[in-house]
Amino acid sequence: MKIQLIHAITGINSAFLEYETEVLASYKRPGTEIRIRKIDNGSASIESHFDEYLGAVDTFRLVKQAEAEGFDAVIVTCFANANVDPSREIARIPVIGSGMAAMSYASLLGHRFSLIMASESSDYRHYHEASKLGFKDKLVSVRRTEFRVLDLLKDRDKTLAGFLVAARQAIEEDGADVIVPACFGMIGLAHEAQEILGVPVIDPAGAAITMAESLVRMNLSQSKIAYPFPPEKRRTIDIEPKTERELA
């Protein structure tokens, strides 16, 4: 099984990619190959719809490239599922976002879950995604850490400490019984945080990998009634896969 993981941002550094690869390896099943790609043109991080849309075309190109190269599924790492809906329209293979996967698992494990996000991100995007996915009644709060998205990649200990402060507030003040790190930059914190907090903590990376693998094993993908292919017409932007010569 081959899964394409797409970072719809440009601000990923090599140190984070190494760490990310290790964490993803701990979740995937033996025999699953994960290839990580990031967009070339877009925003360093996604903290608004504007940031999301700047990377849309490159995201679509990577989705089409993955399908053309025989990958079985695509994961868009952005927790707010950046451009996942249109990506589902242009692909036959399953395309999921990490937020979509994490909130789905959170809804199974408790009555009320909270999202813990970066300080400057737009929380309305998370509420919108939860509502669109049918989880509006289970999402009890969205709490912020003191860090911006790119800060989360720099110091894991500080990120964990800030996450725990917000998570405890969500449990004690909001009544959350499941916690979800609402940024892929918090990858790898869930196990330690769960031991400390005593409630399920859903790693969006683990949730996305597990969901992608299960969909492929069950031979399932997004409905083409729900996500039909865009109608044929003239478009001035080309997202078709590039040849090896063009990529060189």
- In this structure, the answer to whether residues 126 and 221 fall within a common structural domain is no
Evaluate whether residue 242 is within a structural domain. no
Evaluate whether residue 197 is within a structural domain. yes
Evaluate whether residue 136 is within a structural domain. yes
List, run by run, the mean pLDDT of 10-residue segments along the chain (248 residues).
94 84 92 94 88 93 96 94 95 96 96 86 81 93 76 72 92 97 87 95 96 97 97 86 53
Evaluate whether residue 185 is within a structural domain. yes
- In this structure, the answer to whether residues 147 and 177 fall within a common structural domain is yes
57-63's contacts with Cβ under 8 Å and 24+ in sequence apart are 57/237, 57/239, 58/8, 59/6, 59/8, 59/83, 59/87, 60/86, 60/87, 60/90, 60/239, 61/239, 61/240, 61/241, 61/242, 62/4, 62/6, 62/37, 63/4, 63/6, 63/87, 63/90, 63/91, 63/95
- In this structure, the answer to whether residues 163 and 114 fall within a common structural domain is yes
Evaluate whether residue 244 is within a structural domain. no
- In this structure, the answer to whether residues 65 and 108 fall within a common structural domain is no
Evaluate whether residue 248 is within a structural domain. no
> What was the pLDDT predicted at 247?
47
- In this structure, the answer to whether residues 19 and 81 fall within a common structural domain is yes
pTM: predicted TM-score of the whole model, two decimal places: 0.90
Residue range(s) defining the domain that contains residue 63: 2-97+207-232
Evaluate whether residue 155 is within a structural domain. yes
The three-point CA angle 214-69-27 to 5° equals 30
Helix axes 98-109, 123-132, angle to 10 degrees: 70
- In this structure, the answer to whether residues 103 and 66 fall within a common structural domain is no
> What was the pLDDT predicted at 153?
60
- In this structure, the answer to whether residues 64 and 135 fall within a common structural domain is no
Last residue of a domain, one of 204, 224, 240: 204
> What was the pLDDT predicted at 152?
58
- Quick count: other Cβ atoms within 10 Å of Cβ 234? 4
Contact 56, 90 (CB under 8 A): no
- In this structure, the answer to whether residues 7 and 76 fall within a common structural domain is yes
User: 15 in helix, strand or coil?
Assistant: helix
> What was the pLDDT predicted at 99?
94
> What was the pLDDT predicted at 154?
66
HSE-up of residue 87 (Cα within 13 Å, Cβ side): 32
> What was the pLDDT predicted at 172?
96
Q: Measuring CA to CA, which residue among 108, 99, 117, 97 is closest to residue 178?
A: 108
> What was the pLDDT predicted at 245?
42
- In this structure, the answer to whether residues 163 and 190 fall within a common structural domain is yes
Domains contained in the chain, number: 2
CATH number at residue 30: 3.40.50.12500
Contact 163, 193 (CB under 8 A): yes
- In this structure, the answer to whether residues 135 and 219 fall within a common structural domain is no
